[in-house]
Structure 1
Amino acid sequence: MSKGHLQVLNSLDVAKTQWYHFKAIAISGMGFFTNAYNLFCIAMVERLLGRLYYTKPGAENPGALPINVSAAVYGLALFGTMVGQLFFGWLGDNMGRKKVYGMTLILMIFTSIASGLSFGGNDVRGVMSTLCFFRFWLGFGIGGEYPLSATIMSEYANKNTRGTFIAAVFAMQGMGILGAGIVTLIISAAFESWLRPPPYNVDPVASIPPESDYIWRLVLMFGAIPAALTYYWRMQMPETARYTALVARNPTQAAQDMSKILNVQLDAEEERFNEMARSERQQFGLFSTEFARRYGTRLLGTTSTWFLLDIAFYSQNLFQKDIFCNIGWIPAANDMNAIREVYKIARAQTLIALCGTVPGYWFTVAFIDVIGRWWIQMIGFFFMSIFMFAIALPYDHWKKEENHIGFIIMYGLTFFFTNFGPNSTTYVVPAEIFPARLRSTCHGISAAAGKAGAIVGALGFVYASQDIDPTLRHDGYPAGIGKKMSLIVLGVISFLGMLCTFLIPEPMGKSLEELAGEVEFDDAKYDKSVGA
């Protein structure tokens, strides 16, 4: 057992898996379901927005949003998420995890509804401006979920299954992406059955029933439902013992809270706590030389790997529909009506989520406490590079109709190793390797670096993936490097992620306090200290 370590923290570290663990996963996980749903559902209705508000009769590519509008719709939500991660991460360390946790849900509920109610009448600029405004604040609430959910789950979990529990919370992101596809499929199929628009029409404007405007609004507003269902249970969670004892300096309250949860009698150990406080090293701040010396390399590792990962991850998720269209898996826009196009895009993205994205997350849950975070991240980045190069280099080969199935398999494997890899581990590790009083802040900084990468990936891919030949462009924007070269660049970025992985430690099987260097442990005595 560690010298001066509190019994309440020992009890959490060696506790057997109990009902409260699964309850915490469900409560935190539904927040991440809502996050992913709200961030990625916009990709499924983007072309419908283009048809409704920007497509003119005789357009060669009905449904294409102007690049600046597309960039704003995606980019402002991601920028809001980045700001929210920094703000709520800092707030979680200064006000407490629980006090802040409800704010993010309330913000997501109201802004999801408001996004669907975006107003402006017949003024296209008005509708898009209000949509972007509300999606920025939606992203702001989403941003808070990252540091708070990860920190709360890490501080509730025991040391031997902590990675599994945190990864299980994050795996709900995959379920949210899948949920966005399923909801869009259901709504678009219901409207197509009800409205029965013409199946084919060379005039993209005539093929849009006015009621189609309800489709994208309903898809966006649905994101409020899972958040609302979770709010009550989230407010019933007690503050984490590690925050209460180590940051708020109230070991008595920590012992009382955890006694109820663990169904054991725990001593507040005020004398031991006072002894720890007297012998504790001088507190140092985030921007101090001491922090840089002790944790600077770790923070560089968590921020750089998350930054590089999200460039690739968001490029893939938000713009896979463009790649599907390019290889012919989704028919040309002039060959189907607006509602059918929404259905086809949702079907393609649901298939990728079901076959590649979701399994990757849950493979991480299964193996993260077996082979470790470091190896999963390294393996994931490696295979991301391999499969992106395998798609990009023979890109013309995959365009042929007889090779479409092979393309889907290769593209699905890329998503599998993204999620059975760095997309999960970059979320888990920052919640484990920093001290309690800076844990939420450092996770927020790491996550914000990721969202900076997402902005680079999402907005950069909008421009970079455009046709190489400027004579093929009709929107007044310069030509890009093309989808093939964009995928090659993403492969190189994934390789750089492998190199940056060497900057992070392996947290598997260690206490949070041991990882942070706050205490020294005798593991044999530690595991027996509360009858484990």
Structure 2
Amino acid sequence: MMTDQQQQQQAVHEDSQYAYENERPAFGSEINMGGGGGVIIQENIDNRSLAQRAHANAKLCGMGMLAGAGMFSEAYFLFAIGNVKNIWKQLYPECYDGDASCSENLVSSLTYIEVIGVIIGMLTFGYFADTFGRRIGSCSTAIIMCVGGILTAASDASYLTGQWIFFAVALFFFSYGVGGEYPLASASAAERAEEAKKRHSYAHHIRGKSVVLTFAMQGVGNFVNTLIIIFILLGQGCDGASEDCSDRSLELTWRLQYAIGALFLVALAIGRVIFLKESKVWQTNRTKSDEIASSAKSGNHRSLMFKHYWHRLVGTAVGWFVWDIVFYGNKLFQGTIIKVIIGSDATIYQTLEYTLLNSGVALVGYYVAAFTIDKPWMGRRRLQTIGFFWIFALFLICGCAYEDLSKPENISWFQALYYLSSFFGQFGPNSTTWLLPSELFPTDVRSQAHGISAASGKLGALFSSLLFTYGSGGEALDAKIIFIVCAVCGIVGLVVTELFVPDVTSMDLSHADERWELILEDRENEYSGDAVNAEYLSRFERMIGIKPALKSASKAREDVSKASSIEKNPALA
């Protein structure tokens, strides 16, 4: 015979197992096709077999693919420029050799146009999503990206400069939508994961994994874009050791790869408009904040965010800034670095093969990050610190020993170091900088904080583009100096992370909202919950003395009395 306690545990186990077996979201589920992450509710992993755990993780990866469709399209289009640039150089040589028939400056400025569009989208949609909701924001970004994506593939004019003007406008429009995708996808993913946890209070829930698996679709988009270009070239016989592709084949290649990407965007826009539902966490907190806003004591949300969370913004924004110097700087010069590895006479196809390999290594980094970020021995801050440390160490070695490493007899070592840096970039700051703003700020200002942090990152991308392209007296920096700059960014990111970034891996996000409500009412000194416990504060926050409010003696006696009553009669809880 089982005791009452054993019977209760079995009932909970069966209920949890039922949820595990039956919580298979249909295509029309609110967590699919959205600017947010899918979640799997898991019972305690000690009570499940290896096959059950693998099944749950496979479902979580599948839902991450649907929820991260926007990030997939973002990477597919934005990183495509790096992949097709060599095609353009061969197809339109007059645009790269100063010929008056084509504006070289306009073609060179496409990267900057792209980044500026993303920054504006991040800032405007960050505010838009906090004010009007996650659903309307996610649908808007999908529609904008869809229109912009179609126009990039269709860019044409009677003369080359006109074609690039058309392409630049389409790219800016697309990039504006992409900018909105960043704060919306991250905030929605964290909120939907938190919502699911509350619905199943007994379940073991993994928030970080949900969010990072959504973001991992960026890596998938980069990988798939390179793969599709390779397949298109193969289909036209452009796969040999020599460049034997006709101009028609090259033009078909770059336009067709954008057209295929546009098909993904059409499906994304339709899916969101039809199926995506609003974040319940945002709805609940919006109602509360509207009620508080009617109070005379309520202040401006953004100004209060800067007043109480400026140090966290320093951590998320500066960390993202230095990381994007590394990330986009290396994307910009990836072709140059790969040609050092495989030789300067490499064909377009051969360069793409090595680019695909590098993208594959980076993709592994995304998924290793996702499956370790919630572990008690890892967490967000430690993962970001590890990533920045290895970025510093690996690029410092590449920079200091560049002359020796670039010799033919040492090229395998150079390749290994470079690919390791790609892995630790994703298994580290690329995943965590996207996740942290969605967890470190209250729901009311979460998208705005994420938008500001992400925009700071894109300023880093713009800075790296200008510095690496024109930093040596108007000429491009040497590869050795680029590696040294990236190493410096790694150590700066490490220090900023350790000082300004708290680790809230195990904290319920509702605690931050509870504190925020009291901040809005000018009663912050009354808060004494988890959001200000030392475990969930950064080193800087502990240094400046953020701590729980001291309870009065009468309040303490009241809490003890209430706890005693609940212990005697659990129904009172």
Cα deviations by residue, 1:312-371 (Å, 9 ceiling, x for unpaired): 00111232111122x2514426xxxxxxx332222111100112x111111110111111
**Residue 240 of structure 1: aligned partner:** 279
**Residue 401 of structure 2: aligned partner:** 394
1:84-99 superposed matches below 5 A: 84-99=121-136
Cα deviations by residue, 1:11-44 (Å, 9 ceiling, x for unpaired): xxxx977445247633321111111111101111
**Residue 437 of structure 1: aligned partner:** 444
- Counterpart selection for 1:171 from 195, 216, 223: 216
- Counterpart selection for 1:486 from 482, 488, 491: 482
1:210-229 superposed matches below 5 A: 210-229=248-267
- Counterpart selection for 1:514 from 508, 511, 517: 511
- Counterpart selection for 2:305 from 291, 295, 319: 291
Distance 2:103 2:481 in 1: 22
- Counterpart selection for 2:113 from 68, 76, 81: 76
Amino acid at match of 2:81: I
Distance 1:45 1:514, change over 3 A: same
Distance 2:227 2:321 in 1: 29
Distance 2:510 2:279 in 1: 14
* 2:185 is the counterpart of 1:149: yes
Unaligned runs of at least 5 residues, structure 2? 1-17, 26-38, 40-59, 198-204, 517-526, 532-562, 564-569
Amino acid at match of 1:187: I
Of stretches 312-321 and 155-164 in structure 1, the one that deviates more from structure 2 is 155-164
Cα deviations by residue, 1:62-117 (Å, 9 ceiling, x for unpaired): 9xx98734541111111101111111111101111001111111111221121111
Higher relative contact order (CA 8 A, sep 6+): 1
**How many residues matched?**
456
User: What is the CA distance between 1:402 and its match in structure 2?
Assistant: 2.5
**Residue 495 of structure 2: aligned partner:** 499
Distance 1:69 1:491, change over 3 A: farther
Distance 1:458 1:365 in 2: 29
Distance 1:139 1:231 in 2: 16
Identity across matched positions, percent:
28
Distance 1:16 1:90 in 2: 36
**Residue 6 of structure 1: aligned partner:** none
Distance 2:372 2:294 in 1: 38
Contact 2:511–2:530 (8 Å) recurs in 1: no
1:129-148 superposed matches below 5 A: 129-148=165-184
**Residue 83 of structure 2: aligned partner:** 44
Of stretches 166-175 and 233-242 in structure 1, the one that deviates more from structure 2 is 233-242
User: What is the CA distance between 1:54 and its match in structure 2?
Assistant: 2.5
Cα deviations by residue, 1:228-287 (Å, 9 ceiling, x for unpaired): 22334323122111111111459xxxxxxxxxxxxxxxxxxxxxx98xx59999433244
User: What is the CA distance between 1:141 and its match in structure 2?
Assistant: 0.8
Contact 1:388–1:487 (8 Å) recurs in 2: yes
User: What is the CA distance between 1:180 and its match in structure 2?
Assistant: 1.2
| 3-state DSSP of counterpart to 1:119 | coil
Distance 1:354 1:397 in 2: 26
Amino acid at match of 1:45: V
Distance 1:116 1:232, change over 3 A: closer
Distance 1:176 1:344 in 2: 20
Larger Rg: 2
**Residue 318 of structure 2: aligned partner:** 304
How high is the TM-score relative to the length of structure 1?
0.79
Cα deviations by residue, 1:473-516 (Å, 9 ceiling, x for unpaired): xxxx8334311112101110111111111211111111112135
Amino acid at match of 1:153: A
Distance 2:271 2:154 in 1: 27
Distance 1:71 1:212, change over 3 A: closer
**Residue 348 of structure 1: aligned partner:** 354
Distance 1:56 1:79 in 2: 22
1:439-458 superposed matches below 5 A: 439-458=446-465
Contact 1:374–1:504 (8 Å) recurs in 2: yes
Distance 1:245 1:90 in 2: 18
Distance 1:241 1:150 in 2: 15
| 3-state DSSP of counterpart to 2:277 | coil
Unaligned runs of at least 5 residues, structure 1? 1-14, 202-206, 251-272, 334-340, 469-476
Distance 1:175 1:282, change over 3 A: farther
Distance 1:507 1:67, change over 3 A: farther
Distance 1:27 1:34, change over 3 A: same
Distance 1:287 1:440, change over 3 A: closer
Contact 1:96–1:243 (8 Å) recurs in 2: yes
Contact 2:305–2:445 (8 Å) recurs in 1: no
